[in-house]
Every structure is written in C-alpha cells, then in structure tokens.
Homo-oligomer: A and B are copies of this chain.
C-alpha cells in the first residue's frame, strides 16, 4: 500500500471498490433477514414453507442480481484507471439502488400472490429499482469514456459498441416496468433470467477484454 504515495489514482479506485464491495456483500447478505419462519399449525411446516415460494423466488432473484451486479462492477472498475468526483458521485448513486434492493425485494415477495393491483405495483417498484441501477451503470461508463478515465485504449467504434450495450440493457430493464402491469410472476422470472443472461454475457465480454493478459 505504500506505493499509494507515488501513484495515488489506482489507490483511489481501490478504496471505492473496497467500499462498494462492502455495500454489495452486506446487501446480498441482508436479504436473508426477510425470510421468516412461517407461523404454521403444528405438523404443517413443510406445507407452509412451500407456500412461501414467492419469498424464496424473490430471495434467489435478488441474490443473483446483486451477485451479477458485483461481477459487473468489479469488471467495470478494473478498466477504470482513476476516479474523479463524477465517478464518486455516480458510484454513490449506483450504491443507493444496490443498498435499497432488499426493500422492493420484500415488497415484491409479499405481494406477488396478491390478486389486486398491488402485485403489479410491487413488481413495478422492483423493476424501477433495477432500471435505476442500470442507468447508474450506464452513466458511470459513459462518464469514464467521455473523461478518458479508462485503463486501455479502445477504438471509437468499440466505445460506441460498449455504450450501446449498456443502453440496450437499460431499455430492457425499463421494459420490465411495463411488463409488471401484465404479470408479476412473469416479471420475477424474467428478472431472474436477465440476471443469468447478463452474468454469462458479462463474463464472456470480460474474458475477451482480458484475453491478452490471460494468455500472457
């Protein structure tokens, strides 16, 4: 760490990453606090646990989303050479939606089986939270490209492609807000599949970008 004195910028993103890792790790672990022992009649525990499937589904989906967001964040910040004030603010904006996610997760889980408008409202709140997180990711990436804070040389066309990919992601998440008003369970399923898809997509992209290092 003593090298930090002569080369302060990498240290800078290191401490942002450490703080962000903390928030991701805590948010992903706090999700469990919303799983409660069901208040079932004697001998009916197994039945009662199965009735709680929306809780487990929402837990699993939010766990997958936060896990993939962490991988995504990790991968993005590996490419950021140094953090200016814009990165710090936009990263706090991203962490806001990360730290908040346990609340809409709980809301979604409790209202998923509801037959009124409430199930749709809860799904839309959940989808809005994820859309805002996607916007935050896009904004950080757009900002670091514009300010030349990335670690490696990208051609203009590669930059345009990477921005496009983030924008498409944001539009897809925005579309799930609309889907929320059609079917809440379908929205949950789609969010889970999107997390898996982005996990694979993200990791594939990352290996491409780091292929040179890995082969070295």
Contacts and interface: CB of A to CB of B under 8 A. Distances in A.
B23 A21 contact: no
A45 B117 contact: yes
A31 interface: yes
Nearest to A107: B37
Main secondary structure of the interface of A (DSSP, over half): helix
Contact of A99 (B23, B32, B107, B203): B32
B32 A14 contact: no
Interface of A: 1-5, 7-11, 14-15, 17-19, 21-33, 35, 37, 40, 42-46, 49, 59-60, 63-64, 67, 70-71, 74, 78, 82, 84-85, 88-89, 92, 95-96, 99-103, 106-107, 110-111, 114, 116-118, 121-122, 125, 151, 199-200, 203-204, 206-207, 210, 213-214
